Amino acid sequence: MLKGRHIVLVEDDDIMGASIQQRLELEEAEVSWFRTIQRALPAIRTPRRPVDAVVCDIKLPDGTGEQLYFTLQRTSVPPPFLFITGQGGIDQAVRLLKSGAADYVTKPFDMPKFLERLVLIAKLAPDEFEIQETGISTIAREIDRHIASLAELDVPVLIRGGPGLGKARLARRLHELSDRVAAPMIEVNTARESDVDATLARVLETIGEGSLYLNGIARLSSDAQARLLEALGAGEFRLIASDGPQIDAAVNSGAFRADLYYLLAAHQVLVPALADRPEDALWLATRMLSDLQKGRAHGFRGFAPATEAAIRAWPWPANGREIRSRILHALEHGRGDWLQPIDLFPEGSSQAQVTPLAEARDAAERAQIAAALAHTNGQIAEAARLLQVSRTTLWEKMQKLGL
């Protein structure tokens, strides 16, 4: 019933957690089990693979399942949640259903009925293509849905966005989802070709029923544009093009043909910068860290909470290219088990600047909380004791500071 599904289990009771995990694995599901919100939050927010459903106890050692759900909801669309609650928590569970949660069960529950509900809500989860390509934000999921729908239409497509946003990857995905997948996709990068016109002419003669991906189409000469437009009318290939904001200036100045532009613009995909999608920046950084440190003698467990907050706050002018560059630097210079903000943003240690007191206070609190959490391996109660505040106060500050 659940073969191949990725289920996140958030349960601190060892006996119940082990029982649920064992039964789900018998149903051939992949289970990621966490006992605290601190551990579960990043695993759900930036997953290694799509999460089909979350099974979550409402009462947890470092807070409530309700707090976990609403924290996720502030930055993205959470996966379907199935809450586990005692009789005293039914009102809370009903409130969660009104806020978008999928379902709840009360203790003690019948395992077959529990599985029936879980199978039902797991079917509500988005298809894998919706979050594995562009990110986990609502915008990213919509981009991937749009790519999948365009793959079925077999029309020319324009993918628009700045550098480092994975436009070439989206073009490949579009081709792979289309009926042309058996034919080749040929990429012509106009920034790298020494003679773009000659390369394009050669490709148009041989592409057949494949897909032509023109990366940086605004750079084409007027002759190449005319040849391409003629080939589109007579050929059997599919055109996938990409460019940044410069294509608008090229059209306005007359350097790029309006008829070719509007043929492409009828079916275009807009990819926003990572500065507008902070949760996707963290998701991408997490994936890159995992890939880039493979085979290295020293591996990091991940980003420290303060580093995650810094990644979300950074503007990322070069988008994914900058993330990759900073992670490579961090892998060479970082120490310890967790990457700290200074590992990714070393310029922060040398730039003299005046910071508003409110920002300075928040930064200082964030650093101390992150250090306490690292020292206690994520145990909020113990961290609160070290910081000499209540657990509730610590939790509220963590939500405010994005930890």
Q: 123-175: per-residue pLDDT in tens?
A: 654 444 344 578 877 788 789 889 989 998 889 999 999 999 999 999 999 99
| 133: in domain | no
Query: 217 - beta bridge partners?
Result: none
Do residues 144 and 265 both lie within one domain? Answer: yes
Query: What's the rounded mean pLDDT across residues 84-99?
Result: 78
Percent share of the chain, pLDDT over 90: 51
What CATH number should be reported for the domain holding residue 284?
Answer: 1.10.8.60
Query: pLDDT per residue over 23-80, tens digit each?
Result: 999 988 999 999 999 999 988 987 877 889 999 999 999 999 989 998 888 777 788 9
Strands of the 185-189 sheet, one edge to the other: 185-189, 211-215, 238-243, 157-160, 268-270
Determine which helix (DSSP H) or strand (DSSP E) holds 141, and give its type and residue range. Answer: helix 138-151
Residues 148 and 228 in one domain: yes
Q: Tell me which residue of 61, 65, 96, 62 sits closest to 395, measured CA to CA.
A: 62
pTM for this predicted structure: 0.59
Whether the per-residue pLDDT at 377 is higher than 70: the answer is: no
User: How do 53-57 and 6-10 pair as beta strands?
Assistant: parallel
If you average pLDDT over residues 288-313, what whole number do you get? Answer: 88
Query: CA Rg, the chain, in Å?
Result: 25
The pLDDT of residue 131: 41
Residues 235 and 203 occupy one common structural domain: yes
Cis before 112 (ω within 30)? no
Q: Is residue 131 part of a domain?
A: no
Same domain membership, residue 393 and residue 365: yes
Q: Are residues 145 and 220 in the same domain?
A: yes
Range 173-181 average pLDDT: 93
Please give the Cα distance from 102 to 52 (Å, whole number). 12
Report the CATH number at residue 95. 3.40.50.2300
Give the domain range for residue 22.
6-125
User: How far, in Å, are 72, 129, 170, 284, 301 from residue 276 at the CA level?
Assistant: 17, 21, 19, 14, 27
Environment class of 148 (CB within 10 Å of its CB; exposed 0-12, middle 13-18, buried 19+): middle
Nearest to 162 by CA among 325, 319, 326: 319
- Name residue 60's beta-bridge partners: 63
- For 351-367, what is the mean pLDDT? 61
Q: Does residue 130 lie in a domain region?
A: no
Q: What DSSP line would sit under 174-234, residue for residue? A: HHHHSTTTTS-EEEEETTT-S-HHHHHHHHHHH-TTSEEEEETGGG--HHHHHHHHHHHHH
Domain-embedded: residue 377: yes
Cα–Cα distance for residue pair 182/176, rounded to 1 Å:
9
Structure token pair of residue 63: 């807070």
In this structure, the answer to whether residues 268 and 290 fall within a common structural domain is no
Whether residue 132 lies inside any domain: the answer is: no
Does 1 fall in a domain? no
- Answer yes or no: do 264 and 281 share one domain: no
Per-residue pLDDT at 15 exceeds 60: yes
Nearest by Cα to 300 from 344, 249, 261, 334:
334
For residues 263 and 287, state if they share a domain: no
Q: Are 355 and 259 members of one domain?
A: no
Looking at the structure, do residues 90 and 192 belong to the same domain, yes or no?
A: no
Rounded mean pLDDT of the chain?
86
**Does residue 298 lie within any of the structural domains?**
yes
* Burial class for 285, CB neighbours closer than 10 Å (0-12, 13-18, 19+): buried
Q: State mean pLDDT over 293-302.
A: 84
Same structural domain for residues 198 and 154? yes
152 within some domain: yes
Q: Average pLDDT in the 321-350 region?
A: 88
Retrieve residue 366's tokens. Answer: 């964030």
d(CA 204, CA 194): 17
Asked if 216 and 242 count as a contact pair (C-beta separation under 8 A), the reply is yes
Residue after which a domain boundary falls, among 232, 251, 272: 272
Domain boundary among 272, 304, 338: 272
**32 neighbors 8 (Cβ within 8 angstroms):** yes
Report the domain count for the chain.
Answer: 3
Residue 172 one-letter amino acid: R
Pairing of strands 53-57, 59-60: unpaired
The CATH number for 168's domain is: 3.40.50.300
Check if the beta carbon of residue 127 is closer than 8 Å to that of residue 236: no
Q: How big is the chain, counted in residues?
A: 403
CA distance 158 to 336: 44
Among 272, 306, 328, where does a domain finish? 272
Q: Are residues 112 and 74 in the same domain?
A: yes
Sign of CA dihedral 199, 204, 206, 212: positive
